[in-house]
Amino acid sequence: MPAPKLRDVRKLADSRAVFEFDIPLEKLPDFPAAFLPGGVLVHAQLSFGREQGFPVVQVSLKASLAATCQRCLEPMTVRVDADSPVLIVESEQEADSAPGGWETFLAPEGRMDFEALAAEELSLALPIVPLHEDAAQCRPLAAADAAADAVGPVGVAGSVPPASEQVTARPFADLRALLESSAKTSK
């Protein structure tokens, strides 16, 4: 079932409505382009109710997204299985008066877009830095560097020199001598 468009949050909360649907990742508004491979579906379940007089929705999301491991720079799969309660507010002033500790979602005039809610919750569930869970799954960068050297120059600037030709920069190696000479000249 496709995600319903704008709905009246108050009616959904009062009737304790439950929706279950799949959304193509490409249909999620403002979702990071790094996670947009074709064909990925996000399974969502939204269960509405009320808490302390406010409409709330329990958002459950499941998805498997392609990402790049930031440790080894190889492709990986990020599995998302998120479940979080969200307080629905109609204005920023209402958000300010919401009970503490709640995540809020803005639904102007009491109407909300399910896809926007799913996109926000999925973004919050993603890791800040995607990494393989086990570092042993990562291809060693030394092997990646060796493979790059075997291929040859990269880009216009050329290839990275071999480790034996690289010079280690030590910007603070002579700091003490510099400070001492500066102290002597200032006297």
Q: Which DSSP helix (H) or strand (E) runs through 186?
A: helix 175-186
Rounded CA gap, 14 and 11, in Å?
5
Query: Which of 24-33, 136-145, 154-163 is predicted with the least confidence, judged by mean pLDDT?
Result: 154-163
59 in Cβ contact with 84 (< 8 Å): yes
Phi, psi of 74 (to 5 degrees): -105, 155
Indicate the pLDDT class of residue 59, thresholds 50, 70 and 90.
very high
Tell me the C-alpha distance between 145 and 160, whole Å. Answer: 9
* 148 has pLDDT over 80: no
Dihedral sign, CA of 50, 101, 62, 1?
positive
Question: pLDDT digits over 65-75, tens only?
Answer: 888 888 888 88
In angstroms, rounded to a whole number, what is the distance separating the alpha carbons of residues 85 and 102?
Answer: 8
Report pLDDT for 84: 94
Res 49 pLDDT > 90: yes
CA distances from residue 122 to 9, 27, 53, 145, 147 in whole angstroms, order as listed: 20, 13, 26, 34, 35
- Output 98 or 186, whichever has higher pLDDT: 98
- Using CA atoms, how far residue 27 sits from 3, 23, 31, 99, 140, in Å, is 10, 7, 9, 32, 36
> Residue 172 pLDDT > 80, yes or no?
no
71-114: pLDDT as tens digits: 888 888 889 999 999 999 999 988 888 888 889 999 998 898 89
What are the residue boundaries of the structural domains of the chain, listed by start?
Answer: 7-136
Please tell me the predicted confidence (pLDDT) of residue 57: 96
Q: Express each pLDDT in 112-137 by its tens digit.
A: 889 999 999 999 998 888 888 888 87
